[in-house]
A and B are shown apart, each in its own frame.
Chain A
Amino acid sequence: AQSVTQLDSQVPVFEEAPVELRCNYSSSVSVYLFWYVQYPNQGLQLLLKYLSGSTLVKGINGFEAEFNKSQTSFHLRKPSVHISDTAEYFCAVSRKSFNKFYFGSGTKLNVKP
């Protein structure tokens, strides 16, 4: 079975500072990896995904994530955050050729002025 761990439930950061949201997964098979963002009172929106190829994936709003197979990690980064990035971020994993997603518990990013 797959599992996803987001160690940080909340990450406070000042505007224009860099941020990294951590995600680790456990799986014995090849997986697809995703980051979703949820703004207050909204649904989940796809930020970026890793299916294959380059381990550095770029997404929307200046976010990027790096797949590290040896460390089973898929950390999300942004070099300079904005107030508008305040949201909850979810990491998810699915097995290749399977539909079922496993979501982490989410990390609330709070960007302060």
Chain B
Amino acid sequence: DAGVIQSPRHEVTEMGQEVTLRCKPISGHNSLFWYRQTMMRGLELLIYFNNNVPIDDSGMPEDRFSAKMPNASFSTLKIQPSEPRDSAVYFCASSGGGASGDTDTQYFGPGTRLTVL
């Protein structure tokens, strides 16, 4: 398996622009998580989905952030409009099901490093 795939790996944009981050979970996994990592706040859970349905979005910082999971193999995290304080590394992780039946472990993607100028 290719693992969790995220794109782009790096994104540089200007304040006010829309940013879309993409994630493909491990095939067969039914839970997907979006995290943000910064030096100041560490690793924060933004939102997670189970069977494509958002279960807990209490970590989403504000209305500028939105996440979707239209199907089991794809999710997006959108920031509109972006601000310099959104600069961070955004990780996607998935868990559950799959060939190994490992439902209790989260597997992380390589992350997207976002810089908002």
Contact = CB atoms under 8 A, between A and B. Distances in A.
Contacts of A34: 105
Given A99-B55, A99-B96, A100-B56, A43 B42 contact: no
B40 to A, nearest CB: 11
Contact of B106 (A42, A101, A105, A106): A101
Interface in B74-117: 91, 93, 95-96, 104-111
A51 B102 CA distance: 11
Contacts of B110: 42-43
Nearest to A6: B42
Range for the number of chain A residues in contact with chain B: 10 to 19
Interface residues of B, number: 22
A62 B56 CA distance: 36
Interface stretch (B14-22, B43-51, B62-70): B43-51
Residue from B95, B96, B106 having most chain A Cβ neighbours under 10 A: B106
A99 B48 contact: yes
A103 B56 CA distance: 16
A27 interface: no
17 contacts: A42-B110, A43-B4, A43-B110, A44-B43, A44-B93, A45-B108, A46-B105, A46-B106, A51-B104, A94-B104, A99-B31, A99-B33, A99-B55, A100-B48, A101-B33, A103-B42, A103-B45
Interface of B: 4, 31, 33, 42-43, 45, 48, 50, 55-56, 91, 93, 95-96, 104-111
